[in-house]
Structure 1
Amino acid sequence: MFLPGAGIVRRKPLERHQTLREKILETIRESILKGTLKPGEKVAEPELAERFGISRTPIREAFRQLESEGYLTVIPRKGAVVTELSERDVTEFYAIKSILEGYAARRAAGKLSDRDIERLEQINDKLAQLAEEGDVKTFFKVHGEFHDMFIEAAGNEKLADLIRQVGMKFNRLRIASLSLPGRMQISVEEHKKLIEAFRNHDGEAADHLVSKTAELGGRLLLESMKEQQSGRAHSPMAEAYDL
């Protein structure tokens, strides 16, 4: 576990506060993704305060951030517990993702320049490399850059904000989906088809591809959740973290 070292102690108070907050966020996220912290389990403030050698203020700030990302639920006078995700959460999130991102792709198809498309290809090449390495965490980050690029190109700020807000709330689901066996490779191949649709300025094809890929991600995740509930499979997220 992380212990504050001399290098951190020498930082300015605000810098140290922010650094520790990020460490807390990363520690709790990974504990939930690995399954060390299970749905419904309480996350104790006193233990975290002692482990990191800090007051509870940055811990509570981290809890609020994690609640906004769908990892924790903060209950008044009780504290923070790991949020339980249902099959309904998966179904509803991927339905929204399919509609919103599909529309963004349709709008972006007529606006992306040759240079933009070249950049999308470069990002997807990086994703292919990360998929080969099995690096889910970095893949998730770069995958977001790919989608952000065509979402921003759609030219609708309110749409982009809405997609960002919904995506942030369900980061756990998105990482879980990408952690499924072969899922990253499927994403790379679907991106290749999407890039071709963008190159041809084919908005209808772009919309269809993005919608279909989102629906596939949700369906595969639902199947995985059902297998876990029946005790036939381990958590794909835990496997992605070498557990």
Structure 2
Amino acid sequence: MKNKHMERHQTLREKILETIREAILKGNLKPGEKVAEPELAERFGISRTPIREAFRQLESEGYLTVIPRKGAVVAALSERDVQEFYAIKSILEGYAASLAARNLTEKELERLETVNRKLRSLAEEGDVRSFYRVHNEFHEIFLKAADNSKLYGLIHQLGMKFNRLRMASLSVNGRMAISVDEHEKLLDAFRRKDPETAENLVKKTASIGSKVLLESMMNNHHGDTVNLNQDKH
């Protein structure tokens, strides 16, 4: 019985996470706006505990700021956050790609190609959520092939902390298709065992991610939130 209860608890928490992430990414919840526990408890018909757990996770991903005695508010997203995140991502992932270029096996290269084909069809469907999950799989393969556990840990931590930025960037209109094309070029460098090109390509991809997100923020009237209408895809 205990396991059943835990599974239900987990599923509800996931549902709350999805709901809040989506509302923030689409701009329905604005920076500084309070995310009310009682309303969520009523909406999902649950106690406050899974909601508090979800809030803690969303805070670690950069979506919320939990203020003592005030509760959870939507975190503001600044241009500086975007620039700093992508600068660090560029250096760390670029280095990982250069290491992976030397190490990737034929089997791993085939897996990368299969995953990228899947990404192309998801980009055509405009399915941002699935694309984000599978996109992470693509990166996971070459990050592990870099065979540097400390580097892998740093990139993983950074990715978790800036989950919101990565998701927001991929949600910008046309960004998913660009990502698939960039992967194709990277795969070519991996096949040729060319560490320098692989590193430069990953750095270029980070710079595109930063650019599209900053443009999206500037086009938004609020300036500090990314208003993404996913129906455009």
Do both share a fold (TM > 0.5)?
Answer: yes
Instruction: Confirm or deny: 8 A CA contact 1:180 1:236 kept in the other structure.
Output: no
Identity %: 69
Q: Give SS of 1:40's match.
A: coil
Cα deviations across residues 132-166 of structure 1 (Å, max 9, x unaligned)? Answer: 11111111111110011100110111111111111
CA shift at 1:12, angstroms? 2.7
Divergent runs of 4+, >6 A: none
Match among 41, 63, 68 for residue 55 of structure 2: 63
* Change over 3 Å in CA distance of 1:203–1:90 after alignment to 2: same
Instruction: Confirm or deny: 8 A CA contact 1:49 1:59 kept in the other structure.
Output: yes
| Equivalent residue number for residue 170 of structure 1 | 162
Instruction: Confirm or deny: 8 A CA contact 1:179 1:236 kept in the other structure.
Output: no
Matched, 1:111 2:103: yes
Cα deviations across residues 17-44 of structure 1 (Å, max 9, x unaligned)? Answer: 1121111111111111122211110001
* Change over 3 Å in CA distance of 1:146–1:237 after alignment to 2: farther
* Amino acid in structure 2 at the alignment position of 1:91: Q
| Equivalent residue number for residue 229 of structure 2 | 239
| Equivalent residue number for residue 178 of structure 2 | 186
CA shift at 1:227, angstroms? 1.4
Q: Give SS of 1:213's match.
A: helix
CA shift at 1:237, angstroms? 5.5
Matched, 1:79 2:103: no
| Equivalent residue number for residue 149 of structure 2 | 157
* Amino acid in structure 2 at the alignment position of 1:70: G
Mapped to 2, the partners of 1:52 and 1:229 lie a distance apart of 32
* Amino acid in structure 2 at the alignment position of 1:107: L
Mapped to 1, the partners of 2:174 and 2:5 lie a distance apart of 44
CA shift at 1:238, angstroms? 2.9
Mapped to 1, the partners of 2:22 and 2:140 lie a distance apart of 24
Match among 210, 216, 229 for residue 224 of structure 1: 216
Unaligned segments of structure 1, at least 5 residues: 1-10
Mapped to 1, the partners of 2:171 and 2:129 lie a distance apart of 9
Number of positions where the alignment pairs a residue of Structure 1 with one of Structure 2: 232
Matched, 1:20 2:12: yes
Instruction: Confirm or deny: 8 A CA contact 1:34 1:241 kept in the other structure.
Output: no
* Change over 3 Å in CA distance of 1:147–1:237 after alignment to 2: farther
| Equivalent residue number for residue 139 of structure 1 | 131
Instruction: Identify which range, 18-27 or 78-87, moves more after superposition.
Output: 18-27
Instruction: Confirm or deny: 8 A CA contact 2:112 2:187 kept in the other structure.
Output: yes
Q: TM-score, normalised by structure 2?
A: 0.94
Instruction: Confirm or deny: 8 A CA contact 2:173 2:232 kept in the other structure.
Output: no
* Amino acid in structure 2 at the alignment position of 1:138: S
Mapped to 1, the partners of 2:19 and 2:177 lie a distance apart of 27
CA shift at 1:213, angstroms? 0.7
* Amino acid in structure 1 at the alignment position of 2:49: T
Instruction: Confirm or deny: 8 A CA contact 2:31 2:76 kept in the other structure.
Output: yes
Unaligned segments of structure 2, at least 5 residues: none
